[in-house]
Amino acid sequence: MGLLTPLLGVCRAGANGILLGLAGFRDALCLHRCVIFFVHDPRILAKTANCFVLNGFIFLGSVLLLDYGLRPVVHLLLTAVLGADSAARCAAALVGLYNLLWLFPAYLVSFLVNCIWYNEIAELVVAAAQRRALQQRAARQGVALVPGDTGPVVKVHRPDAVAFISQEVYRAALFAIFFAQVLLAGAVPRVGPALNFLGLSWLYALYCFDYKWSLHGVQLQQRLAYFERHWAFFLGFGAATVLPMAFVSFYVGAALVGVLFPLWIMMACDSNPKLAYQRVLGGAAAAGGGLPPLPVFRSACWITNRLLGSVNLVPRLMRHLPARMRPRPQPAVSETSSMTSFMSR
């Protein structure tokens, strides 16, 4: 009986982890909920359509044109003129030139443009979610809102220049280091592909939810702590975002993610990991029980702290900023409302 109790606890925790992962997976695939955001703000639909045209029509079309049009036609023509052996070498050289001169530059351009569009979409989605919440609250209270009352209500946290730059540099370094760890884990014999899939799932889930948390002014360390407390849900959510890349080539996967990522940003803004934990774990979630936190990013944070601490990044940034942009003493500002809203999500 003494050994049976811990075994039952492990089995129960494993079952809860699977259910929470499935809840996150389901949330990522409920793409029909995007229609609500499209209706609330047509600009979201327009910018999402721009992402589809850039990634799905131009970039993915270029990849498919190479794979199913140019490559077989060029190989057929060169084989008729030069013979099989010479045709294979020439075709490989031409395909390499196509990748170098068109596909790789197109990937870089689409990546940079996507970063800008994703941030704009996230701001519009968060604002639409806040307007919808305001309308629902007014409907419950029986209050009629005039059109002006449902205007943009998103409150974007804007720290001083040094704090913003240093946090963004730390965030970029952390993501890069964690991605490097995922690639190294993928090289481990036998279990490498599974470890790579797990790491990418968590990383892409953090990408999706980080837009919302950043716009609500939540500090990076608080975001990571929240993520690690709800790691099972985020694993399932991220797995749904990684699957389109798992069975296709790099460029095709990048194009598919570019098309779908705006939808996943909307799903992240509309998802509530804490509520999913409460549904699955019941009273154990409210009492702090259930699944323990998983230190997904602890090693990456340790490396990032050592790396950036050794180069004294913030003092160097301050020396290069003009005096008007340097931080000044500020009165204490309460972040209670921001953190209360965050913790409820």
Does any domain span residue 225?
Answer: yes
Does any domain span residue 5?
Answer: no
Cβ within 8 Å of residue 214, ≥6 positions away: 157, 223
Distance linking the first and last C-alpha atoms of the chain: 39
What is the three-class DSSP state of 35? Answer: helix
| Phi/psi-derived region of residue 142, left when phi > 0, alpha when psi is between -120 and 50, beta in every other case | left
Q: Which amino acid is at 259?
A: V
The pLDDT value given to residue 137: 75
Does any domain span residue 68?
Answer: yes
Q: Which amino acid is at 4?
A: L
How far apart are alpha carbons 34 and 260 in whole angstroms? 11
Q: Count the domains in the chain.
A: 1
Does any domain span residue 4?
Answer: no
Phi, psi (degrees; rounded to nearest 5) at 296: -65, -40
pLDDT in tens, 262-271: 999 999 998 9
pLDDT in tens, 279-289: 888 765 544 55
User: Are the beta carbons of 106 and 62 closer than 8 angstroms?
Assistant: yes
pLDDT in tens, 44-57: 999 999 999 999 99
Does any domain span residue 162?
Answer: no
Closest CA to 266 of 29, 19, 52: 29
How far apart are alpha carbons 332 and 180 in whole angstroms? 38
The pLDDT value given to residue 163: 65
Q: What share of the chain is helix, strand, coil (3-state, %, to 5)?
A: 80, 0, 20
Does any domain span residue 305?
Answer: no
Does any domain span residue 277?
Answer: yes
Two structure tokens written together for 198: 């797990």
The pLDDT value given to residue 334: 37
Closest CA to 259 of 63, 55, 34, 29: 55
CB burial of 60-87 (b: ≥16 within 10 Å; e: otherwise) equals bebbeebeeeebeebbeebbeeeeeeeb
The pLDDT value given to residue 285: 56
Task: Tell me the whole-structure pTM to 2 decimals.
Answer: 0.82
Burial class (CB in 10 A: 0-12, 13-18, 19+), 292: exposed
Does any domain span residue 126?
Answer: yes
Phi, psi (degrees; rounded to nearest 5) at 171: -65, -45
Range of the structural domain that residue 91 is part of: 26-154+188-296
Which residues of the chain fall below pLDDT 70?
1-6, 8-9, 141-164, 283-290, 310-345
Closest CA to 192 of 201, 202, 183, 203: 183
